[in-house]
């Protein structure tokens, strides 16, 4: 595969990636609705419990070592989403969380360089610098709705996501649906222990009693849309393309996240927020379009 081939996705694969990031972006609004009733760690338990059951009865265990299933489940389940739910539960707005969590792009590419010896081209470094500047704008505007703790939780969640990406890539071309389902069994024990310890049986019982149809629909969307569809397809793409090609597509998540949060939750969009989003999107556009422009010019 040439360096130019490595820098672009086939149209079919690009559309799959776009569908995944659209689901992930709008999901920030969906789980904010669920968090109105459910405590964050309980929401994570319900999400991964519904991913595991009943699917584990019908989906064959993938041909990967147990340690990789455990690593993926702990990083994505307990790490990424446990922390992300905690952050959005009053510590950072959904739209900004969808933007900040894209630091996983830098973490994933950095891990790819350190662990796999992947090479990043000059235009990709510039693209990453633009996106980093966007996150810096957010860091300079922490307030009651975007706290330092919330920002830190999302950044650690992004690091956990990056680690999960690398574990998925190390599995090679396996059935990622099976990986998502079976790895959820490893996410559940620490999440269950944490919700019992910090949220308590009384709060858990009260929240479950108060949960109505929209809340359970939001929980189901976490499992079916985000985990069974989103992570299965994302892992499938990462097994076929370099991280520096696939991962920057996730920078579109904040477009859907901020847009959905503004439309459905009335999240304010001051100038600094728009500037941050513009910088991140500029980085994505440079990363995705520059190789195509070079090929067009050469042709």
| Residue 75 and residue 111 in contact, taking contact as beta carbons nearer than 8 Å | no
- pLDDT band at residue 238, thresholds of 50, 70 and 90? confident
User: Can you tell me the distance from the alpha carbon of 185 to that of 66, in angstroms, rounded to the nearest whole number?
Assistant: 11
- pTM for the full predicted model: 0.82
Distances (CA, A) of 231 to 202, 209, 218: 33, 30, 17
User: Can you tell me the distance from the alpha carbon of 175 to that of 188, in angstroms, rounded to the nearest whole number?
Assistant: 21
- DSSP calls for 23-58: HHHHHHHHHHHHTTTS-HHHHHHHHHHHHHTTGGGT
- pLDDT band at residue 255, thresholds of 50, 70 and 90? confident
> Across residues 197-215, what is the average pLDDT?
94
Helices (H), 140-252: 148-170, 176-198, 200-210, 213-221, 232-238, 243-246
Averaged pLDDT score across all residues of the chain: 86
How much of the chain, in percent, has pLDDT values that exceed 90? 38
Q: Which of 65-74, 236-245, 246-255 has the highest mean pLDDT?
A: 65-74
> Across residues 88-110, what is the average pLDDT?
84
Residue 79: pLDDT above 70? Answer: yes
Show contacts of 218-221: CB within 8 Å, 24+ apart: 218/30, 218/31, 218/33, 218/34, 219/34, 219/38, 219/43, 219/46, 219/47, 219/50, 220/50, 221/27, 221/30
pLDDT score for 199? 95
Residue 6: pLDDT above 70? Answer: no
Number of domains in the chain: 1
Q: How many CB atoms lie within 10 A of CB 295?
A: 12
Structural domain span for residue 227? 3-298
pLDDT score for 71? 96
Q: Is 117 left (phi over 0), alpha (psi -120 to 50) or beta?
A: left
- pLDDT band at residue 119, thresholds of 50, 70 and 90? confident
- Residue 51 corresponds to which tokens in the numbers above? 């991913």
């Amino acid at each position: 595969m040439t360096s130019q081939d490595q820098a672009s996705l086939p149209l079919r694969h690009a559309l799959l990636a776009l569908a995944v990031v659209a689901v992930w972006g709008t999901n920030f609004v969906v789980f904010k609705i669920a968090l109105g009733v459910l405590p964050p760690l309980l929401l994570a338990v319900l999400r991964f419990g519904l991913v595991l059951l009943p699917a584990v009865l019908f989906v064959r265990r993938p041909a990967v070592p147990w340690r990789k299933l455990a690593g993926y489940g702990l990083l994505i389940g307990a790490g990424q989403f446990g922390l992300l739910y905690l952050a959005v539960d009053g510590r950072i707005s959904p739209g900004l969380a969808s933007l900040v969590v894209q630091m996983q792009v830098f973490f994933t590419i950095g891990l790819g360089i350190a662990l796999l010896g992947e090479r990043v081209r000059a235009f990709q470094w510039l693209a990453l610098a633009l996106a980093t500047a966007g996150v810096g704008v957010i860091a300079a505007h922490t307030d009651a709705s975007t706290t330092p703790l919330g920002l830190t939780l999302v950044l650690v969640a992004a690091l956990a996501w990056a680690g999960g990406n690398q574990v998925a890539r190390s599995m090679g071309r396996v059935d990622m649906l099976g990986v998502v389902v079976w790895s959820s069994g490893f996410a559940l024990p620490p999440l269950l222990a944490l919700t019992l310890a910090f949220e308590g049986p009384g709060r858990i019982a009260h929240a479950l009693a108060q949960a109505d149809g929209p809340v359970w629909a939001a929980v189901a969307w976490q499992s079916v849309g985000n985990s069974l569809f989103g992570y299965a397809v994302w892992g499938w793409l990462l097994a076929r393309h370099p991280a520096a090609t696939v991962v920057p597509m996730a920078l579109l998540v904040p477009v859907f996240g901020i847009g959905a949060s503004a439309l459905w939750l009335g999240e304010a969009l001051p100038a600094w927020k728009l500037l941050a989003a513009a910088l991140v999107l500029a980085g994505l556009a440079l990363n995705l379009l520059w190789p195509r422009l070079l090929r067009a010019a050469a042709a």
